Chains A and B, each alone.
Chain A
Amino acid sequence: MNALLRLEGIEKSFPGVHALKQCKLELLPGEVHALVGENGAGKSTLMKIATGVYTKDAGRMVYKGEEIELPNTRAARDRGISMIHQELNLLPHLTIAQNIYLGREPRKLRCLVDDHEMNSRVSRQFEKMNLKLDPRMLVSELSVAKQQMVEIAKALSFRSEVLIMDEPTAALTETEIQDLFRMITQLKQQGVGIIYISHRMEELQQISDRITVMRDGAYVDTVETMNMDVDQIIRMMVGRELYEMESPTSFSPNAEKVLEVKGLSRGRELQNIHFNVKKGEILGFAGLMGAGRTEVARAIFGADPVDHGEILIRGKKAKIRGPHDAVRLGIGYLSEDRKRFGVLVDMDVASNIAIASYKRYRNMAGWMKEAHINRTAEHFVNSLSIKTPGIGQKVKFLSGGNQQKVAIGKWLTRDCDVLIFDEPTRGIDVGAKSEIYKLLETLAAEGKSIIMISSELPEILRMSHRIIVMCEGRITAELSAEEATQETIMKYATMRSQVM
C-alpha cells in the first residue's frame, strides 16, 4: 500500500536545543498509527511540523506520493492534514455550526451569513458520522467528549485525510472513550489515516495498528502493535542515558515528618492523596504531564481550593486558606511556569528576592528597610551566583536559569522549611541544571524538606530519596530510591485505574 503521509529525515533546531534528529514516520491510509515517547521526546514538535506550525530545517515530507512544503497551518489544512489538540479550540458562546464554519461562513447576498445552509451542511456531516447532535446547540452546553466530536467534524469538513489526535482520551470517561474508538474505526474504513498520540498503553493496544517510538528528539523504532507488549514499549521509550548517577545525599529515614498530607481530594484531579516528607529529604514526584502533580503542589500551597483532606505540619493540623498562610507556615512553592507565576518579570532582582519576606523588612510605620533588603539581595546574588549586572536589574532581562535562581532566592530569604520545586530545571541549560541540583542537595543537607516534581526520569532518579508516582490524579506507587528504575516508574505512571 502506498503511504498517505511520509516524513523522512526531519531535522529541527531551536536556539540551544536540537529538538528533532533524523525523525521519520510513515502513515498508511486507514491506519491508526500511535506515536509514543516520554515528555519532551519530540512528538509535539514533529506533529507541529506535519501541520505547518513549525517549518522543518531539513528532511522530506511526502503526501500522497508528492513532496510538499507546509509554510503555515493553513497550507496543511488545505491539503487535508488536521490536528485535534488536547485543549480544544472551540468558542464556547457560539453554536456548533458557527464553530465549524468560523471564518468561512456560507453567505448570501455577499454579506449575510446563511445560517440555514451552514446548519444543514453540518447536519449532513453529522449524519455521515452517525452523530446525534443539533448544530444549533451552543458549544458550552456540550460535554468534553461531544466537543471533541465537533472538532473531528470540523477537521473532516476540510476534507482531511490525515487526522492527528493529541491525547484524545485524556478527559473522557470510559463510555466516551468507546464512542471515540467507534468513530475512529469508522474513519479508518473511510481511508482516513490517524496519528494517535497517547501515554495510555492499554489504549494503544486496543486501537492502534502500528506504534512509532521517539526518544530525546530521535526516532527509535516502528513496530506492529500486535507483536508488542506494554513492557517492551516502555523499555523502548525510557532507554535514556542517565547522566552522572551519583547516589542522592544520605538522610536518616527516621527523621521527623515535617509535612504530612492526608486524603487530599478534588474531583477527578486529586483523588485521596496521601504522603509525607521528612526533614532533610528530597521527595520526587514522577508522572506524565497532567498526572496531577502540580495540582497536588498547588493544593498544599493553598493556591487552589480542595474538597477534602488535611495537611499536617510537624504533626499539627495546618489551616491553609491561601498561599500567604502556606508561606507563613514555612512552605515555599516554585512554579513550573516561571515567567507567569514564579517571578515578577517587570520588577527588579531585589524586589523579587524580598517579595515573600517584606513583613520582616519594614519598620513600625510600614517603611521598607531598603538597605537591609539590598544587603539580603546582594547576599543571595553572590551565594546562588545569579548572573545579573546588579540587584536593580529587571528580572525579565535574566536568563531562564538565573530567573529560577531568583525564585529560589525568594524562598531562601523567607527561610522556608518545606520547598516544593515544580519542574525546577525546565528550559534551563545543562550547566545551570547541575548548579540547581547541587543547590537542592545542599538545602536538603541543611535540613530542609524538598518536594521535587519532575518529568525527567533521570533527574528524579538521581535526586530523590523516595519517589512518588502519580497517574490521573492518584498516587499509583511510592518507591524507595533502591527499587526505582525508569521502567518501574513509567509502568506506574501509565497505570490507569481499574475501571476498564
Chain B
Amino acid sequence: MKLQPTQTAVGGQQAKKTGIKGAARQKVLAFASLIILILVFSLLSGNFFRFDNLVGIMLSTAVIGVLALGSTFVIITGGIDLSVGTVMTFSSVMAGVFITYWNGPVWVGVIGGILAGSLCGLVSGLMIAKMKIPPFIATLAVMMITKGLSLIISGTKPIYFTDKPIFNKLTMGSIPGWEIPNAVWIFLIASVIAGFILTKTIVGRYNFALGSNEEAARLSGVNTVFWKVVIYVMTGTFSGIAGIMMASRLNSAQPALGSGYELEAIAAVVIGGTSLSGGMGTILGTVIGALIMSVLTNGLRILSVAQDWQTVIVGLVIILAVYMDILRRRKNKS
C-alpha cells in the first residue's frame, strides 16, 4: 500500500518529462514566436495592430491555411502532396464549369468543386497506396495534370461568377453586425474539424500510426492501403474547399493561379512543428504556422520592405523554425 502513491508520483514526473511537456513546449514556442512577431510589428508601425489590418491578415491566411490543414494529414503519414495548389485551382475551375458554363445552382458548384478536389486526392492516394508510386512523384504528376486540365477546361481564361453574386458572398460576406468576412470563419471551422479528425477519430489515430511505423501498423491488422487512400482523399477535399474559397473571394476561377501554393502550405505545416518524416504534428501548429507566414508578409509590407525581400525573409524564417525544432528534439532525446 505504501508503495502505491510514490510510484504514481514518480510516474507522473516521468510522463511530464517526456511526451506531454515536449509537445506542449513546441506549441508554446510557435505561439510565442507569433506573439513576438505581432508585438514587433505593432511597435514598428502604428498601422499594423489595427482591426482592419488584423482582419486582412486572417483573410489572407484563410486559403493557404485550409490548404495547409489538408497537407498536415499527408505530411503526418510521412508523405507529401505537391498537388494541393493546382488541385485547388482545378476545383475552382470546376466550380466555374458547374455554375457559369452550365448555369447550375451555386450549391451544386460548391459541392462539385469540392468533390473534384476529393477525386484528385483519390487518384493520388490510389497511385501511392496501391501502385506504390512514391508520394513525391505521384503528386507531382497530379500537380501537372490538374494544372494542364484547368488551363484546357477554362481555355486559359478566367471564369467569372458575376451572374451569381451569392457565390462571392460565401467568403466575402459577413455575419451582420460582425465585420469579419466569412472566409475567416470558414478557415476557423475547417481548423476545428481538422483538429477533431486528427485527434478524435480513427482516421486520425491511423494517420499517426502510418507515420510512426507503417509496417508495424500493417502487422497490427490496420488496412494501411485503404486508410492511406482515405487520408489523401481528405487532403484533396481540403484543397477543394480552398479552391471554392479562392474562386469565391476573387469572384472568378483563375486557371493560372495556384502553382507555388503547395510549397507555402508545406512551409506553414513545417513551421507549425509537424515533422516531414511523419508521425508527429498538430493542427494548432499548422494554424499558427500559417498565421506566422501571413503576419510576416503583412508586417513586412506595412514596413515597405520590397516584395522580393519579403520572400527571402520568409525563407530564412523557415530555416530558423525547422532548426529550432531539430534542436528541441535533440534535447528531448538526450
Contacts and interface: CB of A to CB of B under 8 A. Distances in A.
B312 interface: no
Given A366-B201, A367-B200, A397-B14, A348 B221 contact: no
Interface stretch (A14-22, A323-331, A448-456): A323-331
A355 B212 contact: no
B17 to A, nearest CB: 9
A345 interface: yes
Given A393-B15, A394-B18, A346 B222 contact: no
Contacts of B172: none
A347 B15 contact: no
B19 A344 contact: no
B201 A343 contact: no
Contact of B15 (A343, A346, A370, A392): A392
A324 B223 CA distance: 5
Interface string B11-29: 1101100111000000000
A393 B19 contact: yes
Contacts of A414: 221
A340 interface: yes
Contact of B212 (A335, A342, A345, A397): A345
Contacts of A431: none
Contacts of B14: 389, 393, 397
B8 A346 contact: no
Interface in A303-328: 303, 322-324, 326-328
A178 B36 CA distance: 74
A368 B200 contact: yes
Contacts of A323: 218-222
Interface string B192-207: 0000000011110110
Contact of A362 (B20, B201, B212): B201
B200 A344 contact: no
B15 A390 contact: yes
Contacts of A328: 221
B221 A362 contact: no
B52 to A, nearest CB: 39
A445 interface: no
A346 B280 contact: yes
A378 to B, nearest CB: 13
Interface in A337-383: 340-348, 351, 354-356, 358-359, 362, 366-368, 370
B213 interface: yes
Contact of A344 (B15, B216, B223, B225): B216
A323 B222 CA distance: 7
B18 A324 contact: no
A301 interface: yes
Contacts of A389: 8, 10-12, 14-15
Nearest to A303: B219
A112 B320 CA distance: 38
Contacts of A390: 11-12, 15
A8 to B, nearest CB: 39
Nearest to A393: B15
Nearest to B18: A397
A358 B202 contact: yes
B19 A362 contact: no
Interface residues of A, number: 40
Contact of A340 (B10, B215, B279): B215
Interface residues of B, number: 31
A346 B221 contact: no
B205 A351 contact: yes
Interface in A388-443: 388-390, 392-394, 397, 410, 414
A196 interface: no
Nearest to A389: B11
A370 B202 CA distance: 11
Contacts of A354: 205
Nearest to A370: B200
A303 B214 CA distance: 12
B217 interface: yes
B280 to A, nearest CB: 7
Looking at B8, B18, B213, B221, the one whose CB has the most chain A CB atoms below 10 A away is: B221
Nearest to A298: B219
B99 interface: no
Among B208, B220, B223, the one with the most A-chain Cβ atoms within 10 Å of its Cβ is B220
A227 B279 CA distance: 59
A333 interface: yes
B68 interface: no
B202 A346 contact: no
Contacts of A341: 213, 215-216, 219
B218 A322 contact: yes
B209 A344 contact: yes
Contacts of A392: 15, 19-20
B279 A346 contact: yes
A340 B213 contact: yes
Contacts of B213: 340-341, 344-346
A392 B19 CA distance: 9
A397 B8 CA distance: 16
A343 B216 contact: yes
Nearest to B223: A324
A358 B206 contact: yes
A348 B200 contact: no
A350 to B, nearest CB: 10
A389 to B, nearest CB: 3
B19 A355 contact: no
Given A340-B215, A341-B215, A367-B201, A356 B19 contact: no
A13 B20 CA distance: 35
Contacts of A342: 216, 219
A164 to B, nearest CB: 32
A405 B220 CA distance: 14
Contacts of B222: 323-324, 355-356
Interface in B280-303: 280
Given A362-B201, A368-B205, A347 B212 contact: yes
B217 A344 contact: yes
A370 to B, nearest CB: 8
Contacts of B205: 351, 354-355, 358, 368
A474 B163 CA distance: 75
Contacts of B206: 358
Contacts of A370: 200
Nearest to A351: B205
Given A340-B215, A355-B220, A389-B10, 14 more contacts: A323-B220, A335-B219, A340-B213, A345-B212, A348-B19, A355-B222, A362-B202, A366-B201, A366-B202, A367-B200, A390-B11, A392-B15, A397-B18, A410-B220
29 contacts: A323-B220, A324-B218, A324-B221, A324-B222, A340-B215, A340-B216, A341-B213, A341-B215, A344-B209, A344-B213, A344-B216, A344-B217, A345-B213, A346-B280, A348-B19, A351-B208, A354-B205, A355-B209, A355-B222, A356-B221, A367-B201, A368-B201, A368-B205, A370-B200, A389-B11, A390-B12, A392-B15, A392-B19, A392-B20
Interface of B: 8, 10-12, 14-15, 18-20, 200-203, 205-206, 208-209, 212-213, 215-223, 225, 279-280
List the 10 shortest-distance A-B pairs measured between CB atoms, nearest first: A389-B11, A327-B221, A346-B212, A324-B223, A355-B220, A356-B221, A366-B201, A356-B220, A358-B202, A324-B221
